[in-house]
């Protein structure tokens, strides 16, 4: 695997978009990246979500690995009219594993983690609240098992899509199932038999 960080991050974004396309969603990449990596669109009713993709290499063995992700404090804290999902991808043993969570759910986990750190201090440096942090960078270490990921003490299912992003089975671009009859408008035109 290449050690190029930019290539690795872009590979994660393409994996995310590929999986969404296979689930029937349309995807669009903003020409100018100001925080949203992908727009996710249901072509049936134009429901739209924003997606922030973060990719990291697994640090450890499959089933008990950790990975560090750099998030934006402002992006995590700020609700928007169009819902934001974070997709945290970890690559280990040649495969991608992922957690996909609503911004509000990750923000809640972080707020509970901050509150717990003041009442139940642990060894090491305490987490910084946004109002005292000097930068927008927010480094989070995520623990991965075979079934879930732990982010700020909250458990999120691994490789599971949220109800907001179901598989879309119908809509524009849908092909006819095998054996389906063509409508008269789609039927190939009959050319005269040259032998008659």
User: If you ran DSSP here, which 8-state letter would residue 178 be given?
Assistant: T
Name residue 144's beta-bridge partners.
65, 149
Domain 5-157 CATH assignment equals 3.40.1350: yes
pLDDT the model gives residue 194: 57
Whole-structure pTM value? 0.83
CA 81 to chain centre: 18
Show the CA angle centred on residue 159, arms to residues 158 and 163, nearest 5°.
Answer: 100
Is 64 in a helix, a strand, or coil?
coil
Torsions phi, psi for 116 (to 5 deg): -65, -30
Q: Could you give the CA distance from residue 69 to residue 8 in angstroms, rounded to a whole number?
A: 13
Q: Are 50 and 86 in contact (CB under 8 A)?
A: no
The list of the chain residues with pLDDT below 70 reads 1-3, 61-63, 120-124, 176-196
Q: Could you give the CA distance from residue 104 to residue 93 in angstroms, rounded to a whole number?
A: 31
pLDDT in tens, 113-130: 998 887 766 666 778 888
pLDDT in tens, 116-170: 887 766 666 778 888 888 999 999 999 999 999 999 999 999 999 999 999 999 8
Q: What is the SS3 assignment for 48-59? A: EEEEEEEEEECE
Q: Could you give the CA distance from residue 160 to residue 98 in angstroms, rounded to a whole number?
A: 8
pLDDT the model gives residue 126: 73
Quick one: tokens of 45? Answer: 């009713």
Spans of all domains in the chain: 5-157
């Amino acid at each position: 695997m290449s050690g190029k960080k930019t290539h690795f991050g872009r590979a994660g974004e393409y994996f995310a978009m590929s999986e969404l396309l296979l689930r029937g969603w349309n995807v669009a990449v903003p020409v100018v990246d100001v925080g949203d990596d992908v727009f996710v669109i249901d072509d049936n009713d134009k429901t739209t979500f924003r997606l922030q993709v973060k990719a990291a290499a697994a640090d450890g063995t499959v089933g008990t690995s950790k990975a560090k992700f750099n998030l934006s404090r402002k992006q995590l804290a700020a609700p928007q009219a169009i819902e934001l999902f974070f997709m945290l991808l970890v690559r280990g043993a040649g495969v991608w594993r992922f957690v996909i969570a609503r911004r509000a759910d990750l923000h809640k986990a972080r707020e509970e983690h901050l509150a717990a750190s003041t009442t139940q201090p642990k060894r090491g440096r305490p987490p910084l609240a946004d109002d005292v942090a000097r930068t927008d960078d927010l480094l989070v270490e995520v623990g991965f098992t075979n079934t879930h990921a732990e982010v700020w003490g909250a458990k999120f299912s691994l490789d599971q899509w949220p109800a907001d992003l179901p598989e879309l089975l119908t809509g524009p671009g849908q092909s006819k199932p095998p054996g389906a009859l063509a409508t008269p408008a789609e039927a190939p035109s009959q050319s005269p038999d040259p032998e008659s």
